[in-house]
């Protein structure tokens, strides 16, 4: 079966998010004074084949550990969705 692993990767709490800070300042400068803080991360969507949701999630976790996420400075969350054609 086909699954979509929707993976969010974002800077860990306490790690300086320079991109987020820059965008936050830029938003303030163009008039969005209500903005207090911005964090920027990656959104990775993996279309994969697996026999069930559990297997898809295990595979996605492994991908994060081996390639997609730098655990030292990044945190991640995974949501699995079945693709129904």
In the block, tokens 């945190």 appear at: 75
Return the ∠ at Cα 23 (arms to 18 and 29), rounded to 5°. 130
- Is 54 a binding residue for its own copies by CB under 8 A? The answer is no
**59 near its own copies, judged by CB under 8 A:** yes
Which one of 21, 46, 75, 78 is in contact with its own copies (CB under 8 A)? 46
Give the Cα separation of 16 and 18 in Å (integer).
6
Q: Which residues bind its own copies (CB under 8 A)?
A: 2, 8-10, 20, 23-24, 26-27, 30, 32, 34-50, 59, 62-63, 66-68
């Amino acid at each position: 079966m086909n699954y979509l692993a929707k993976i969010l990767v974002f800077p860990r709490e306490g790690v300086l998010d320079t991109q987020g800070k820059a965008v936050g300042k830029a938003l303030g400068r163009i008039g969005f004074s209500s903005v207090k803080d911005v964090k920027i991360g990656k959104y990775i969507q993996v279309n994969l084949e697996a026999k069930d949701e559990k297997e898809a999630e295990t595979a996605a976790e492994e991908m994060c550990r081996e390639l997609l996420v730098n655990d030292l400075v990044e945190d991640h969350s995974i949501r699995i969705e079945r693709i129904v054609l």
